[in-house]
Amino acid sequence: MKAIKMLLLAGVAMLCACQHAPKSSATQSTAPKRLLLLVDVQYDFITGSLAVAGAPAVMDSLAGYITTQPQGKFDAIVMTADHHPADHSSFKDYGGIWPAHCVQNTEGASIYKSVLDAVKQHDPQAPILTKGDNVAVDEYSILANEASAKKLLALIEEKGIQEIYVAGLCGDYCVGNSIKDLVAAGHGDKIRVLTRYIGNIDDGTTLRSIIAEHNLQVAE
Ligand SMILES: [Zn+2]
């Protein structure tokens, strides 16, 4: 009788072990799907014609952040880039408010090397989505560009992205407007603003007010 009871107990213990084992592996596989969105990390905004004060240090620290994240943390990394024709309407010489910047196929339009190298360590195929290609239209937000918006929203959908980490340049224009458009597209609850890795033309007031207005989560 005693032996049967022990066998029964052992059976219960085994059942418990079996129930627990798949549970812990299931916890691992349900880690949130993460997208890292890097906005306009381009030379002209860092050391070039429209350099944001302090941007080299902020972007080098962004490169350090990306490098130290574990492999597989991000299910996708997407870079955005201003990609203007030489006579773009946003340039002062053509009636706009900005000095010429990020002209297609120039060094100034290319992605900052330390950040690009860090991205490639995680995803050699990470895409660059462009905006501002049309001479007549300025597009601060990547979602303002129809073709790029379509690609980004499809990627979020297809990969089942649950968290969107955002960094880059600059908080009061292209980062801020991209965030606002992601909120408008229904992704506000996914946004994690990497404020430490965002450069601003102003003192950060605009970005802080966007974060407060939409009650967005900030990430370290
Ligand atoms: Zn531009």
pLDDT band at 220; cut points 50, 70, 90: confident
Residue 1 has pLDDT above 70, yes or no: no
Using the mean position of ligand 1's atoms as its centre, give its distance from the Cα of residue 101 in Å.
Answer: 6
**Number of Cβ within a 10 Å radius of residue 10:** 10
Q: What's the full length of the chain, in residues? A: 220
- What residue segments make up the domains of the chain, in order of their start? 30-218
| Amino acid 173: pLDDT | 96
**By percentage, how much of the chain surpasses pLDDT 70?**
87
Q: pLDDT by residue (tens digit) across 97-106?
A: 999 999 999 9
Using the mean position of ligand 1's atoms as its centre, give its distance from the Cα of residue 218 in Å.
Answer: 26
Using the mean position of ligand 1's atoms as its centre, give its distance from the Cα of residue 126 in Å.
Answer: 22
Looking at domain 30-218, does it have CATH number 3.40.50.850? Answer: yes
Q: Which residues pair with 192 in a beta bridge?
A: 165, 217
Residue 28 has pLDDT above 80, yes or no: no
Q: What is the dihedral of CA 73, 71, 117, 66, to 10 degrees?
A: 40
- Averaged pLDDT, 47-62: 98
Using the mean position of ligand 1's atoms as its centre, give its distance from the Cα of residue 132 in Å.
Answer: 6
C-alpha triplet 164, 153, 110: angle, nearest 5°: 75
Mean pLDDT, the chain, integer? 91
Q: pLDDT by residue (tens digit) across 130-183?
A: 999 999 999 999 999 999 999 999 999 999 999 999 999 999 999 999 999 999
Using the mean position of ligand 1's atoms as its centre, give its distance from the Cα of residue 193 in Å.
Answer: 22
Measured over the CA atoms of residue 112, residue 114, residue 118 and residue 120, the dihedral's sign is positive
C-alpha triplet 177, 180, 181: angle, nearest 5°: 90
CA distance 131 to 146: 9
Contact yes or no for 126/119 (Cβ under 8 A): yes
Token duo for residue 171 = 């908080």
Using the mean position of ligand 1's atoms as its centre, give its distance from the Cα of residue 31 in Å.
Answer: 36
